[in-house]
Structure 1
Amino acid sequence: MLGLGYLIRFRGRVELIAGYDEKRVRDPEGLARFVGTNLLLLGAGAFAVLALEFLIPGYAVLFFVIYALVAVPLVSFITVRGSSRYEKRDS
């Protein structure tokens, strides 16, 4: 996620975004910033969970479950909903 987030956010590789269609997007740079940043957040969260699992091994499953069942769906939902502001409007 960190690698994809970097490529999309800082290198503008919007073609790496699933379902990307240049005909439907009015602001590819904005979309790249938004989606790339969210991927970087998910990657940083995964890294934080890994660190917490090493520091507090008794709660490893809890940390993973919270990340997998709360953080990932929440950020994914925000990304999908927020991406619509970069789509072309029908006139």
Structure 2
Amino acid sequence: MTIYPDSELYQEIKNGNWIEETEIEKYIEVRTLVENLEIPVEFAALGASNAFQLIGNLPEARHKLLSKLDRIINNVDEEELRNYRRNLRHL
């Protein structure tokens, strides 16, 4: 999830009412979604704010997507992910 400075959620963060999850926690949430979706669906996370692009049809590509997410979660540094997001011009 990308929180834009002109959003209500951004103001909630500034007011101390909500804490944004870490970049790794965001991938853990995506993993939970992919693991538990029970309907046939084309899953895609292809936006520029995603450091890693994900696409596949569920349930057929579930194992492939979960494996990729596990590699990201276990091997990519939090600071590397934050830097990626910070350096996007449009955010």
Taking structure 2 as the reference length, the TM-score comes to 0.33
Higher relative contact order (Cα pairs below 8 Å, separated by 6+ residues): 1
Higher helix share: 1
Higher strand share: 2
Taking structure 1 as the reference length, the TM-score comes to 0.33
